[in-house]
Structure 1
């Protein structure tokens, strides 16, 4: 069975992916800590899955240069080692934010990338570097651009929404009509396992998302269904909410412009290219079923 090398193995995605791959028979999985100096020669392996990176800080408190030092600098360093190694596959976890911070219509891989945040720009810089290098024969480069990933016990905006619903607090953002794509960790694990198991899947850039987008209001209602709590959707004028978020920017409150955007904007991502590459009509887990699994884990914890 293939030897796999993973960076970011202690993170949410890394832990889930390692457990999933071991269940699928990938027993020889090694992790690489990018907080330590990289080795002069990479361990013998068939594939590198590069998960490690600096995540998007919704509080906007991070030094912008840190994104480039980590998301670009560490990726460049690791990819240069890959080019000189005997490893065949390099799977790089980028982000849909490397393409666009806001989306009109549906985001596809054909869109011209124009990120505005240091996070998105650093991911795009890393993409551009690895794509600009000539791949030796027998090597494959795959760039995955996931949207918002969720799964059991994952912390983040979905957990915050769960707390709001469970406590009976009205959801005040119901006036925002949106559609968002999500990505279940189950579907993500499935896609990576398929790539590792099938050398015929071509290299390139792939958006990764569940099949169906959902509105935030639909997500709130699904939360109520899973938690057994009554949901209350308040349609407060968007202008008032945006003004409060601006205050939150200055006072570093939980509701700020970045988090408001995350909760209320439309961001629909097409996954047609990756499904065509895998020769499947649909991913194994629907958006609603994947979210239910995540929400049930919040309830049990």
Structure 2
């Protein structure tokens, strides 16, 4: 089976391509700009991308996207997200179907459900999506255009909605937490009693590989996680232990923290540390018989080992 992976140079794409190649599969690594001889550049992802490179490909795993960023630089982020994530995805799916590609596995996001789940009420695949930002809305719209293409062409579509992904090379809040722990900065997060679902890079790659050819995956949408939800203070303690650092957690009222976050324009960023965001991935586990091959603790350990050369304090 010949598999094409878009976004092959990214955080998930690189690990996925390496795993597929390690199984002896033929992998077409598609990137925006050529940086390695093994890759193939297709340029900007959008409604005019040339997809003739898909000749002879059976499965496309679509991991390329305009990703969510903390410090937006575009003057019109909604349009920028839509051009890449919606129009680009529609064009890819239509061209793939026309060229005989059998299946497209789409890496979506839990953000199609929103920014936070209610206490003890994890998101499920049956919930009506309510995305709250331009990135989440673009991913939700991309899912819908994929189902439209599938209905018209017979292309098999599988949608995967991961929560926060951890692993070597992870950025965003996880990288910031590790940096703060490393520097010994006191963190006013000790009083937070939330629950967050995470998924390790190895586990997400395992699901994508499974969905590439499992006969039962066609037409399905799956949430995925490590299977153990964790609070922000517990996450910090686990990371600190792996880094051989002492977690300097201070208990502060979550309401006060959120008020300060809004005051300084960091409300959404702080919300990702304070709010709960849980997913119920039982549909994936029951339907495909999937079990995470790597535990949350092992995944976090691999992330720390790949990003931080610790020393005793």
Structure 1 residues 99 and 238: CA distance shift in structure 2, 3 A:
closer
Q: Do structure 1's residue 123 and structure 2's residue 123 form an aligned pair?
A: no
2:114 and 2:249 mapped to 1: Cα distance? 29
1:168 and 1:193 mapped to 2: Cα distance? 39
Structure 1 residues 151 and 84: CA distance shift in structure 2, 3 A:
same
Q: Tell me what 1:38 maps to.
A: 49
1:28 and 1:61 mapped to 2: Cα distance? 33
**Matched-pair contact (CA < 8 Å) for 2:107–2:159:** yes
Q: Tell me what 1:15 maps to.
A: 14
Q: Tell me what 2:184 maps to.
A: 168
Q: Do structure 1's residue 93 and structure 2's residue 93 form an aligned pair?
A: no
**Matched-pair contact (CA < 8 Å) for 2:192–2:231:** no
The structure 2 residue matched to 1:284, chosen from 285, 293, 299, is 293
**Matched-pair contact (CA < 8 Å) for 2:20–2:27:** no
Structure 1 residues 193 and 184: CA distance shift in structure 2, 3 A:
same
> Matched residue pairs, number?
292
**Matched-pair contact (CA < 8 Å) for 1:181–1:212:** yes
1:40 and 1:29 mapped to 2: Cα distance? 12
Tell me the TM-score normalized by structure 2: 0.87
Secondary structure, in 3 states, of the residue corresponding to 2:283?
helix
Q: Do structure 1's residue 157 and structure 2's residue 156 form an aligned pair?
A: no
**Matched-pair contact (CA < 8 Å) for 1:72–1:126:** yes
**Matched-pair contact (CA < 8 Å) for 2:61–2:212:** no
Secondary structure, in 3 states, of the residue corresponding to 1:107?
coil
Secondary structure, in 3 states, of the residue corresponding to 2:237?
helix
Q: Tell me what 2:36 maps to.
A: none
1:77 and 1:272 mapped to 2: Cα distance? 32
Q: Tell me what 1:25 maps to.
A: 24
Q: Tell me what 1:262 maps to.
A: 272
Q: Tell me what 1:253 maps to.
A: none
Q: Tell me what 1:296 maps to.
A: 305
Query: Structure 1, unaligned stretches of length 5 or more?
Result: 250-255
1:52 and 1:153 mapped to 2: Cα distance? 17
Q: Tell me what 1:242 maps to.
A: 258
The structure 2 residue matched to 1:54, chosen from 41, 66, 69, is 66
Q: Do structure 1's residue 182 and structure 2's residue 198 form an aligned pair?
A: yes
2:49 and 2:68 mapped to 1: Cα distance? 24
1:61 and 1:234 mapped to 2: Cα distance? 34
- Once the 2 structures are TM-superposed, how far is the Cα of residue 123 of structure 1 from its aligned partner? 0.9
Q: Deviations over 1:197-243 (max 9, x none)?
A: 43343321111221111111111101111111111211122233223
**Matched-pair contact (CA < 8 Å) for 2:51–2:92:** no
- Once the 2 structures are TM-superposed, how far is the Cα of residue 61 of structure 1 from its aligned partner? 4.6
Bigger drift between 47-56 and 99-108 goes to 99-108
Structure 1 residues 74 and 191: CA distance shift in structure 2, 3 A:
same
- Once the 2 structures are TM-superposed, how far is the Cα of residue 60 of structure 1 from its aligned partner? 4.7
**Matched-pair contact (CA < 8 Å) for 1:101–1:120:** no
Q: Tell me what 1:274 maps to.
A: 284
Aligned alpha-carbon RMSD (Å): 1.8
Tell me the TM-score normalized by structure 1: 0.91
Query: Structure 2, unaligned stretches of length 5 or more?
Result: 32-41
2:204 and 2:58 mapped to 1: Cα distance? 20
1:72 and 1:196 mapped to 2: Cα distance? 21
Secondary structure, in 3 states, of the residue corresponding to 1:268?
coil
